[in-house]
Amino acid sequence: MEISRRDMLAGAAVLTLASRAGAAPAGFDGKSYRSAFVIDGLGAISDPDFKPGMTRFTARGVAEMRASGLTAVHMTVANPGNEATLEQAVQEIAGGDQMIADNADMISHALTVADIRAAKATGRIAIIYGLQDSAVIGTTLDRVALFKGLGVRVIQLTYNLRNLSGDGSLEPANGGLSKLGRATIERIEKEKLLLDLSHGGQRTIAEGIAAAKRPLTISHTGCRSLHDNPRNVWDVELKALADKGGVVGIYWMPFLVPSGKPSGDDLIRHMTHAVNVCGEDHVAIGTDGMLSATVINDDSRAAQKKFYDERAAKGIAAPGEGPDIFNIVRDFDTHMRFRTLADGLARAGWPAARIEKIMGGNLLRLYGEVWGA
């Protein structure tokens, strides 16, 4: 799913839920959580009281963000699905820059791991800019360097559909990488940006991993051996990603289960499977969602139907999406979702060191290896 700056600031349809975290089992307590790096490999911050025309986050929004414990989030800054123009992408980035400038006491722009560490030390959330589609780059590979200069640090190759680089996850031909796709990967790596293969077709992912010479990511997906959905990834590709030093982020999306309504246990089941396949050094969080809780009422139901209908008309809606399917894990639908996850992993018997890696340590390591310190 795409997360744009507009999505990030859309707070009218969300409300605060009381934290359900409770007391964590011995080994990973509140102190452990507060000291850990918590990184969402693809998602968005949100302010439930934000209204159009505002430039500053509200007191409630700031309080939720601070309480959440989130350290950094990779945020999409251009429309995916072969939609974004260069002008639109630049406008989105400029809007993100302005939002950060207007709320510098709460958020900052991360270009390096040092920036993420500085955000953690000062109680802010670091925003990482990313593209969820290389269609805006196309054959003009110098745009990779252009977007790097504009602050982008992650580039995803395809988004569900076919573009000039390769086939997305919804293409029945499963055609894999093109020659341009291979050249695009080479240029992304030359610029020391992070290659993301989320939303790719099976062959695109497999061939992209094989072509990569540096660690890479699939920032938001699930385990296809647990639920056969084209947005999920098979074990063989997950293992190949880990063997390249990469990290897979498990999303909090309908695609985790056939019903489209995953529970916290379903999420932890996918995360556990990914650890078993990849090893605990190669799994992370990639919610593909908002930070605030989602209120479900007539207005939000209408908004979800409109959102789905638009995606279906564009041909980018994946199996499992629907007019009445919300992109949430119901047990964790609170601004304290990451603390709730950490407590759930601890109750599932995960050791504290592994939880710290999954919550953000693995992505911090990956970012450092790819971008430099």
State pTM to two decimals: 0.93
**pLDDT of the residue at 344:** 96
Question: What pLDDT is stored for residue 3 in this prediction?
Answer: 39
Polymer length of the chain: 373
Give the CA angle between residues 39, 132, 87 to the nearest 5°.
120
| The pLDDT value given to residue 8 | 39
Cβ neighbors of 328 (< 8 A, separation 6 or more) are 252, 289, 294
Considering only CA atoms, which of 291, 226, 217 is closest in space to residue 255? 226
For the chain (length 373 residues), average pLDDT per consecutive 10? 39 30 59 94 96 94 97 97 95 97 98 98 98 98 98 98 98 97 98 98 98 98 98 98 98 98 98 98 98 94 97 96 96 96 96 97 98 84
Q: CATH assignment of 5-371, given 3.40.50.300, 3.20.20.140, 3.20.20.80, 3.40.50.1820?
A: 3.20.20.140
Instruction: Report pLDDT digits (tens) over 118-134.
Output: 999 999 999 999 999 99
The predicted structure's pLDDT at residue 228: 98
Strand, helix or coil for residue 109 = strand
Task: Please count the other Cβ atoms lying within 10 Å of the Cβ belonging to residue 352.
Answer: 19
Residue 26 confidence (pLDDT): 54
Assigned token pair, 232? 């999920």
pLDDT in tens, 60-111: 999 999 999 999 999 999 999 999 999 999 999 999 999 999 999 999 999 9
Domain ranges of the chain: 5-371
